Amino acid sequence: MALNLTDAFLELIRRASSDLPPDVERALVAAHRREEPGSVAKGALAQVLLNVKVARESSRPLCQDTGTNIYHVHLPASVPHGKVEKAIVAATRKAVKLNYLRPNAVDSVTGKNSGDNTGVGQPQIHFEQWGKGHVEVSLMLKGGGCENVGRQYAVPDAETKAGRDLEGVRRVVIDAVQKAQGLGCAPGSLGIAIGGDRGSSYLLSKQQFLRSLDDRNPDRELAALEKRLLAEINELGIGPMGFGGKTTVLTVKIGKMHRLPASFFVSISYMCWAFRRARMTIRGEKVTYGY
């Protein structure tokens, strides 16, 4: 049987929308365990965990905001980009009909919803050609509520007295979380990029969400900062949904890139608890799925 590329993508969307990666779910279970018995924070996390179970069992969206659909596609030269893009768009339209995705694409000038979740820049697809023979795809659904609380700082920053070093990065990240409060459906995850220009910096910050929550940053200094920030941010006590509590973020991931001597950007992307990421590998006719 020949591979139906559209159906392969449709299954990727279903998985991304209705399930959480196991590393994220484990972190939420641990967060639930830590909260005080009887607290509203614990109650909120219990509802979150129940919701994950119900969504998975019924193939429904974990959250009704099925977000910006961000694809990263690695492919060999033999596979045409256009073919993959067409399949993604067709799968997206089908996914809306099946209620895996919400019609979530609005014309920025007329305000009209396209009705099928496609439009200019939605879905968002990043292609990268590579030397391997197979195709690898990751899909992240990035909700609007948490996207709205992302921030970018051009340091030095006067308000936080942040300078152009890792101490400055630490300061602005704490500032960003304090300003976000519970708005992005805490407990969330932080993807941080240091360097680049404004555009590449935000992109790299989001790509941190493709890392497993349990991985270790190969850069020792960044690994230490990730650990310190995770502990300090949870001291803020903002808690699940901003109700107050022990877990405000589940993880902190930092990436770096070179910058111009004139610029020093720190970009902070916030991913809500509904941290939806799924992966697909296509080798010949064989499709496998993961997180």
Using CB under 8 A, pick the residue from 152, 163, 210, 243 that binds another protein: 243
> Could you tell me if 88 and 81 are in contact, meaning their C-beta atoms sit under 8 angstroms apart?
no
272 binds ligand SF4 (CB under 6 A): yes
Give the other-Cβ count within 10 Å of 60's Cβ: 16
Helix residue ranges, H only, 182-280:
198-207, 220-235
Distance CA 261, CA 246 (A): 39
Between 14 and 256, name the residue whose CB sits nearer to ligand SF4: 14
The item of another protein, ligand SF4, none sharing an interface with residue 266, based on CB under 5 to 8 Å by kind, is none
191 binds ligand SF4 (CB under 6 A): no
Q: Where are the beta strands (DSSP E) in the chain?
A: 68-75, 124-129, 135-142, 151-154, 188-194, 249-256, 265-271, 276-283, 286-290
Using CB under 6 A, pick the residue from 150, 168, 182, 184 that binds ligand SF4: 184
φ, ψ at 134 (rounded to 5°): -105, 170
SS3 204: helix
245 binds ligand SF4 (CB under 6 A): no
The item of ligand SF4, another protein, none sharing an interface with residue 67, based on CB under 5 to 8 Å by kind, is ligand SF4
SS3 157: strand
Using CB under 6 A, pick the residue from 10, 28, 63, 233 that binds ligand SF4: 63
CA distances from 288 to 12, 39, 101, 197, 284 (A): 10, 41, 21, 35, 11
- DSSP designation for 158: T
Site for another protein in 66-105 (CB under 8 A): 66, 99, 102-104
146 binds ligand SF4 (CB under 6 A): yes
Site for ligand SF4 in 70-129 (CB under 6 A): none
The item of ligand SF4, another protein, none sharing an interface with residue 242, based on CB under 5 to 8 Å by kind, is another protein
Using CB under 8 A as the criterion, what x/- string covers residues 10-49 for binding another protein? ------------------------------x--xx--xx-
| Stretch of 63-71, 131-139, 216-224, 277-285 contacting another protein, by CB under 8 A | 63-71
Handedness of CA 97, 103, 105, 111 (dihedral sign): positive
Distance CA 263, CA 157 (A): 12
**In the complex, what is the shortest distance from the CB of residue 212 to another protein, in angstroms, rounded to a whole number?**
21
Distance CA 196, CA 176 (A): 19
- Residue where the block lists tokens 């991985």: 215
Report the residue closest to ligand SF4, judged by CB. Answer: 143
**In the complex, what is the shortest distance from the CB of residue 57 to another protein, in angstroms, rounded to a whole number?**
9
List contacts with ligand SF4 (CB under 6 A): 63, 65, 67, 143-146, 184-185, 272, 274
List contacts with another protein (CB under 8 A): 40, 43-44, 47-48, 50-51, 54-55, 58, 60-66, 99, 102-104, 111, 113, 115, 143-145, 148, 160-161, 171, 174-175, 177-178, 181-183, 185, 232, 235-239, 241-244, 272-274
